[in-house]
Structure 1
Amino acid sequence: MKSFLLYFGLFSIFTTMAQSTKPNDPLAHTYSIVARDANTGEMAVAVQSHWFSVGTGVSWGEAGVGVVATQSFTNRSFGIRGLDLLKQGKSPQQAMDILLSDDEGRDFRQVAILDSKGRVATHTGKNCIVYASHANGENFSIQANMMLNDKVVPAMEKAWKTYNKLPLAERMVQVLLAAQNSGGDIRGKQSAALLIVAPEATDEPWNDVLLDLRVDDNENPVKELDRLLNVFRAYEHMNQGDVYVEKNEMKKAMAQYNAAMKMFPENLEMQFWTAITLANDKQFERAAEMLGKIYEKDKNWRELTRRLPKVGLLNVSENELLELVK
């Protein structure tokens, strides 16, 4: 009995030591960048990992406040707590010091914090799996761990500085592509994410997140993220076209819709709303021609056309409607 108690006591001690030495937080060995666009003030986090749905744990941001990337053995609380410390007026370094001060897993953490002024703080724990390092400067911080080689972080930094003429979202994707092309995660690829928040908070917080794209499980997540960004840009044209329709500025609306269709010519939805706009602009022949081709590919669009007059989205007579749905 005594030997059992001694064994149990030693087991408890060793278990406690293991828990305090190595955290039980979710793994997100990965590469990421937090950055601020010096021209617009927008702030972003971009990340890729061989781990499912990396964007749900690593990427955190708030308009007018800053962004946080928390990875390696991911302490998700660092995201919300880090942003809260920034809102309290703490600098990124002060916020980092507070977060790590009582964290027993600090040696396994990799964290980057950037505020709305472009100041950064980065921590790479001594027990992060090699290759693990970071590079930072005004308006950016790059961090990576468990990389195939030591070329990943330098390649990411070079890409950040090289593509400085691109919009922030496209620039962030180029940084991720540079990391992957330099070797990336030693385990391979699985998920990626891109989060962008506004430079200032507004009284409409639902509009303060400018972009939130996530690829949770894919053989080529960064490539897929790049594709989704292109889709997002196309729908920006569609949304702007809708605004012009509301203002009855049909020529401007058509210019936006055409720009979207050029980016994704096979997208039936973009074609459909362009045709409806043509019909509302009394260009029935062109509208009917476009709609006919759409119906051949998917007859459900014909039924949708029939439903639009009732809600005021298609302003045509009954005879004109018959021509559009035949």
Structure 2
Amino acid sequence: MTFSLVARCVETGMFGIAISSSSPAVAARCSFARAGVGVVASQNVTDPSLGPLTLDHMAQGLSAAQAVAAVVKQGKFIEYRQVLAVDNAGTTAIHSGPNSLGIWTQASAENVASGGNLLANDTIPQAVVDGFLSATGHLGDRLIAAMRAGLAAGGEAGPVHSAGMKIVDKVSWPVVDLRCDWSEGCPIENIATAWDVYKPQLDAYIQRALDPREAPSYGVPGNE
């Protein structure tokens, strides 16, 4: 019921994930990223514990492939799970259990991996990867472009209703964490609209956290 990508920006070292599903609040259960470590999607009959576990393994020095292999050994009902990871060297790994739902497949390249289940066709993850690699600009722009490419290639077998995008960079919290937990419209376009609003303010929000004395105006009534 999901298609997603996990990615690393070569220029900045940022990690990001974008994900969409016919299920509600997919990003709340499936998206995990840690600055300086990596990014993970845990999806398909989701076990949210697999995301932090994979990141913990990578934080201890395992590659994405080694971390995912360890999780496959440790996880319960792993034949039902999909786990996608990118590490801080840009290497990728994907586990798709044989009990993944419907049409399921995966694709990857250096610094990016995509997977999905209950897909409209088996071209979606490759379209997502190609969309990411052909896009330019901020990591967030490329994540949005990739998800739009996946949707244009067919997306899920049915309409998607939720989506999310998360990016980490240097600090301990996500610098971007945008979600649409339910929409009868297009949740990917809802996230794209939110990104258009948030992107120009991203650096200001980070600065306010690090040192509000050097931060720009808050832009609220009474503040100049």
Give the structure-2-normalised TM-score.
0.89
**1:230 counterpart residue number:** 196
SS of structure 2 residue aligned to 1:170: helix
Q: State yes or no: 1:212 paired with 2:177.
A: yes
Match of 2:93 among 91, 101, 121: 121
- How far the C-alpha of 1:118 sits from its partner, in A, is 0.9
- What is the distance in 2 between the residues matched to 1:126 and 1:160? 26
- How far the C-alpha of 1:129 sits from its partner, in A, is 2.2
SS of structure 2 residue aligned to 1:74: coil
**2:158 counterpart residue number:** 187
- What is the distance in 2 between the residues matched to 1:149 and 1:80? 30
- What is the distance in 1 between the residues matched to 2:69 and 2:174? 27
Q: State yes or no: 1:157 paired with 2:129.
A: yes
What one-letter code is carried by the residue in structure 2 that aligns with 1:185?
E
- How far the C-alpha of 1:235 sits from its partner, in A, is 3.1
- How far the C-alpha of 1:236 sits from its partner, in A, is 4.2
- What is the distance in 2 between the residues matched to 1:237 and 1:65? 21
- What is the distance in 2 between the residues matched to 1:190 and 1:99? 29
1:89–1:238: structure 2 CA closer, same or farther, 3 Å change rule?
Answer: closer
- What is the distance in 2 between the residues matched to 1:112 and 1:238? 31
> Once superposed, which parts of structure 1, at least 4 consecutive aligned residues long, lie more than 2 Å away?
233-240
SS of structure 1 residue aligned to 2:141: helix
- What is the distance in 2 between the residues matched to 1:181 and 1:92? 29
- What is the distance in 1 between the residues matched to 2:164 and 2:202? 19
1:94-105 counterparts in 2 under 5 A? 94-105=66-77
- What is the distance in 2 between the residues matched to 1:96 and 1:78? 9
- What is the distance in 2 between the residues matched to 1:54 and 1:215? 9
**1:47 counterpart residue number:** 19
- What is the distance in 2 between the residues matched to 1:101 and 1:57? 21
SS of structure 2 residue aligned to 1:121: strand
1:239-278 counterparts in 2 under 5 A? none
What one-letter code is carried by the residue in structure 1 that aligns with 2:31?
S
**1:170 counterpart residue number:** 141
| Matched pairs, number | 220
The structure with more radius of gyration: 1
- What is the distance in 1 between the residues matched to 2:178 and 2:118? 24
Question: Does the 8 A contact of 2:108 with 2:126 survive in 1?
Answer: no
Give the structure-1-normalised TM-score.
0.62
Larger fraction in strand: 2
1:92–1:51: structure 2 CA closer, same or farther, 3 Å change rule?
Answer: same
- What is the distance in 2 between the residues matched to 1:158 and 1:138? 12
- How far the C-alpha of 1:211 sits from its partner, in A, is 0.6
Larger fraction in helix: 1
- What is the distance in 2 between the residues matched to 1:45 and 1:220? 18
1:234–1:103: structure 2 CA closer, same or farther, 3 Å change rule?
Answer: closer
What one-letter code is carried by the residue in structure 2 that aligns with 1:210?
V
- How far the C-alpha of 1:151 sits from its partner, in A, is 2.3
- What is the distance in 1 between the residues matched to 2:75 and 2:54? 13
Match of 1:107 among 75, 79, 87: 79
1:217–1:123: structure 2 CA closer, same or farther, 3 Å change rule?
Answer: same
**1:69 counterpart residue number:** 41
SS of structure 2 residue aligned to 1:45: strand
Deviations 1:170-200 (A, max 9, x none): 10011111111111111211100001011x4
- What is the distance in 1 between the residues matched to 2:204 and 2:63? 40
Which segments of 5 or more consecutive residues in structure 2 lack a partner in the other structure? Answer: none
- What is the distance in 1 between the residues matched to 2:122 and 2:46? 22
- What is the distance in 1 between the residues matched to 2:106 and 2:123? 11
SS of structure 2 residue aligned to 1:185: coil
